Amino acid sequence: MSVRRIVVPVLVVLLVGLFALASVQFGLWLGRCEAVAADKPDAAKNKQELADLQKQAEPFLKLFAKVAETVKPSVVSIYTKQKVEKKQPLRRFRDRVPHGLPFDMHPFFDFGFDWPWMPKEGLGSGVVVAENGFILTNTHVVEGFKDDEITVADQGDKKFEVKVIGRDPKSDLALIQAKDLNLAPVAFGNSDTLQVGEWVIAIGSPFGYTHSVSAGIISAKGRRGVTPKSVPFAIEDFLQTDAAINPGNSGGPLINLRGEVIGVNTAIASRTGGYEGIGFAIPSNLAKKVMDSLKSKGKVVRGYLGIEIADISDSLAERMGEKDEKAILEKLGLKEAEGVFVWGVGDGAPAAEAGIEAGDVILEVDGKKMKKAEEVAATVREIEVGKKVNVVIWHEKAKKTLTVKIGEQPEELASTKRYGEKEGGAEVDFLGLSVQTLTPELARELGYENQKGVLVAEVQKGSGADRAGIKEGDLITKVGMRDIANVAEFTQAVKAAAEKKGRVTLYVKSEKRGRFVTIE
């Protein structure tokens, strides 16, 4: 057999095989191309779908614009600037000014306190809430300024003089009036029905950019811990929003999509001083009550018991030198964490007159069960001043009902000190005081009959005891929740508490009141 007869068939077979393989690969490639072509976006189709969606969303998009257009004319910018009279600097310091240096530009050479070149000034916002130019804003926007140092400007930047009708630092709300300002008032919405996630719009003058509009949602309700502790009786029930709020927005409205005021923008949480996504507004229902009271009376009258209170919790246990909440309940004789612990009672306060003492637990106020300290505060401040109400307390491991005549909450405390705040910097050994066992003779002399404890004989000036307000003649009856009857028990209990927690809580009685104090 010749070589040719063998090679030719083999080549034919190879060529057929290669053609078949190429055909298969071409088919696969073609399939992939068709798949890619099938997956390729249809620009025309997508454009049409987008147009359809825009048509459906157009009313919603226009809603934001219409709300802003409707409300913006009723929002004003508030400008404040103190009028400071120029002081005449002392001649001997003027003579020492270097040649050619303008004296009045250098406070270093003037020992006066009213610097004419540094008047206090500020910028805020407000919203017209009633006819005849009544404007709601924040107290901190107008606080410290006289009527003639405050002006408001409308959307056209026309300026108007104002009169302060009333301020309420506890809610940080103020009512002012610009009689010549003829703008339509904005209606109030119901902040109680507001839901987390609901859209809102903030309007104001951030950084001086007047009538700026930002949008966001309600992030949370009932936020506390926003107001500085130095503000006595501060009311905290803030709305939290991520609508952009910056300095200058204070006092401006937070609006729902019905064009109603549902909050008054008041504060921000920020590490930089600017917007970081967390702003706070006073709920409209609270703002409406305050506004009505300021308009009719020039002030807000609230009920008052005169007590310092705390939730029964692990935090309270730590302050009292106990292990946890369960240990506190065992000491009090309670089965569960019901009621609110009385940390202190003010001198001559309505609670003191009724017989409420520090260490008691408030279970009910005027027929309403109390579980949280804020519930007690909110309930009491809404009760009419002068009304007598029943207060159910847990006193010495038993229920007791007392009748309390509600007083009027004072404008401010005699001291802004709050019982139980941490007082750092003192030696713990003897707390900066010396004590002696209360004898029957001393008890009769000082009005402590039938009581046990140690009498404060001396308080070292500047010590922890001094800063806590402990005075000579006070009676200490407890260290934490532990009763003490003499100096030995007192010393032992103090050392044990100090070694365990680094702080000591004492129950201190004076002639008129008893309260707990904590010393670091």
Q: Which residues are tagged catalytic?
A: 140, 172, 250
152-191 exposure pattern, b = at least 16 Cβ within 10 A, e = fewer: bbbeeeeebebebbbbbbbbbbbbbbbeebebebbebbeb
Neighbours of 411 (CB within 10 A): 11
The residue among 249, 247, 78, 211 whose CA lies nearest residue 150 is 78
The answer to whether residues 421 and 453 touch, using CB atoms and an 8 Å cutoff, is no
The residue among 443, 367, 380 whose CA lies nearest residue 408 is 380
* Both structure tokens of 490: 């007192």
* Both structure tokens of 211: 């009538």
Q: Which 8-state DSSP code applies to residue 479?
A: E
Q: Which 8-state DSSP code applies to residue 438?
A: P
**Ramachandran region, residue 224 (left: φ > 0; alpha: ψ -120 to 50; beta: rest):** beta
* Both structure tokens of 477: 């009856």
The answer to whether residues 84 and 114 touch, using CB atoms and an 8 Å cutoff, is yes
Cα distance between residue 174 and residue 166, in whole Å: 6
The answer to whether residues 239 and 186 touch, using CB atoms and an 8 Å cutoff, is no
What lies within 8 Å, CB to CB, of 77 at 6+ separation is: 123, 124, 125, 152, 153, 205, 210, 211
At 332 the three-state DSSP class reads helix
